[in-house]
Amino acid sequence: MSPPSNTSRESPNTAQVLAGTLLWIRMSGSSSIKSIGMEAKLHSAPTLLFLVSVTFFSAHFLKFQLSGEDLSHKLTNRASSLLDFSSTLIWMKSLFLAVSSCGEEVVKHRHGLLAADLSTCHRSLTNADVPVYCCPPKRESDEPVYDFQFSNPTEPKRIRRPAYLMDEDYIAKYEKAIKIMKQFPYEDPLNFMRQADMHCIYCNGAYNQLNSSYWYKIHRSWLFFPWHRIHVYFHERIVGKLLGDDTFAVPYWNWDHPDGMVIPEFYTRGAYVDKDRDRAHLPPEIVDDSFDYVEKGLGPEEQIASNLAFMYTQMVSGAKKTELFMGCKRFPGEEGDCDGPGTIELAPHNALHAWVGSGLQPERENMGAFYSAARDPIFYAHHANIDRLWTVWKLKRFKGHEPEFVDTVWLDSYFYFHDENRRLVRIKIRDCLDIEKLNYGYEEVELPWLNARPKPSIPPKLAHHILRLREAEQNALLLPSEASTTPYFGAEGRVLDKTIRVKVGRPKRRRSAKEEEEEEEVLVVYGIYMKKDVYVKFDVLVNAVEESRMGPEHREFAGTFVNARHGARIVKREGDSTKKMKATLKLGISELVEDLEAREDESIWVSLVPKGGTGVHVAVEGVRIEYMR
């Protein structure tokens, strides 16, 4: 369809021209905008803004061309022109606001908010093809639902402390509550296994989305942090209620600090024990924050240093933008889905789930698989630390100010949990963002990883020289190589059965100081496809000379991708929808590029290094660099 034309010789009013253009855009572009979903926001806003500008100046040009009046007449009409210009600005503002949320409007209006349909719970499957039924005994859709209310402000604030500092009185109290929860019948929503199955339901796709046949999931996107925060929150309040102690707070397992880098001792006795743990990883074994199913054989001091350097990358240099830390923006429906976990969810979160779980179980149950993870009591201490790191990241990144979340689809999306009074509560994400309002906090400890910025394994200039010589030699002799100068491997992807090294161009070599302050250079590994739902891990290195000898303690380490097992859902009804998403890994590398003295380079060498023999299960489409504001 073409834009409306004006056949009259009278000059069209600018606002009228804009209105016509907007109508044409809406009529001709709506289907295409729907087809591309959220990407419409990124691509349509600048395009439509350009059209607005062209329309505005065209209208005034037409007025000049068609009027044919003398100068005095133009002067007498200047006031009306200014009024017309003012109206135009108002139109432009309205249009820009409409355009800026264009992509979100499509998703928002079709499916409403992102939430679970409580009437659709059905079986899931584990990787061993053992049916797992974690749905409640009775449909929760038949229960009355209560909107979440913040606790009474007169209640004492709950302060969570490091697990290794807990005294015997506290340990005995918490164990008593766990025993009580395990003794409740499964029909009771406070039963320990029933609470654990909440993780199974929401993480294995046992629910469909509200107003959609597409599955509901809370991992691998920006739903990860708020959902787990509230899961731990209600667990804490349930325990406090059972103990008659409104000051009770769960401990956090601060595996990011040397003093907390072992499984807390009390989790190895009494009701805290889970028989399905890796016995080789019990105290005094130091945790491996980037565990890949293979024991690295590092000594305690070396492992601690590696963990601290890894935390620096995941919390600081690789997480300078909200999406990099929290994950991709998931919206309702199949077209709103995404698979792009943030830094901390990938590891240490996923890695430590696997590290704790038993190597004798097919999916490293219990902690190593989504469906069974919360059956281990240490789950809550692990996720309390994940939650704490979210608060630390916001404090360090935003200086105590909350990042600006303005998307109402996300803010008003909601979860269902049973509270300490056994009531089914609906809580919006906007109510999960401020722990002060939730009336709990964390005892502060030192953050040694803030000062653990990794150093290059060899001098950067030497690395550049070696890489250039290697490239020239391969080109001259036409040697078969693991290296490629094509960062796109095709839609089928390239299997990571061995290390792949690819040369990736940098679109912006010389950025202004303002651009460097506002933009993060981001390394994107896209089209990541897991052949089946198994544990997969590969590391990403930049300008690495000897990949096999490099780990998180080296500056060349840009980040890691970890796919944790969760189990495949079984379709309940004909017409239910699910699809195998290709994942995207985004890693902030501005600081890394600076440390490797590559700011002025036209390209960098990127190595994808499969870990633990898991690369045969994953293929990658390509690698690129983009810039994120």
How many CB atoms are located within 10 Å of the residue 589 CB? 26
Beta-strand pair 603-610/536-542: antiparallel
Whether residue 325 contacts residue 27, with contact meaning beta carbons closer than 8 Å, is answered with no
Beta-strand (E) ranges in 32-75?
none
The single-letter DSSP state of residue 347 is I
**What residues form DSSP beta bridges with 583?**
528
Whether residue 604 contacts residue 506, with contact meaning beta carbons closer than 8 Å, is answered with yes
Output the CA torsion sign for 297, 300, 301, 306. positive
Between the CA of residue 571 and those of 123, 438, 564, what are the distances in Å? 8, 37, 21
**What residues form DSSP beta bridges with 502?**
484, 606
Residue type, 178: I
SS3 322: helix
Angle between helices 102-111 and 39-67 (to 10 degrees): 120
Residues catalogued as catalytic = 199, 219, 228, 349, 353, 370, 383
Residues in the chain: 629
Lookup: tokens for 82: 């200014």
Between the CA of residue 296 and those of 289, 425, 511, 583, what are the distances in Å? 12, 45, 40, 27
Lookup: tokens for 445: 């400890």
Judge residue 193's burial from the number of C-beta atoms within 10 Å of its C-beta, 0-12 exposed, 13-18 middle, 19 or more buried.
middle
Looking only at Cα atoms, what is the longest distance across the chain?
96
How many helices (H) and strands (E) are present in the chain, helices listed first?
Answer: 17, 19
What are the backbone dihedrals phi and psi of residue 623, each rounded to the nearest 5 degrees, phi first?
Answer: -135, 140
Q: 433: closest CA among 409, 411, 407? A: 411
The single-letter DSSP state of residue 577 is B
Task: Mention every residue, 6+ apart, whose C-beta is less than 8 A from residue 72.
Answer: none
How many CB atoms are located within 10 Å of the residue 269 CB? 10
SS3 57: helix
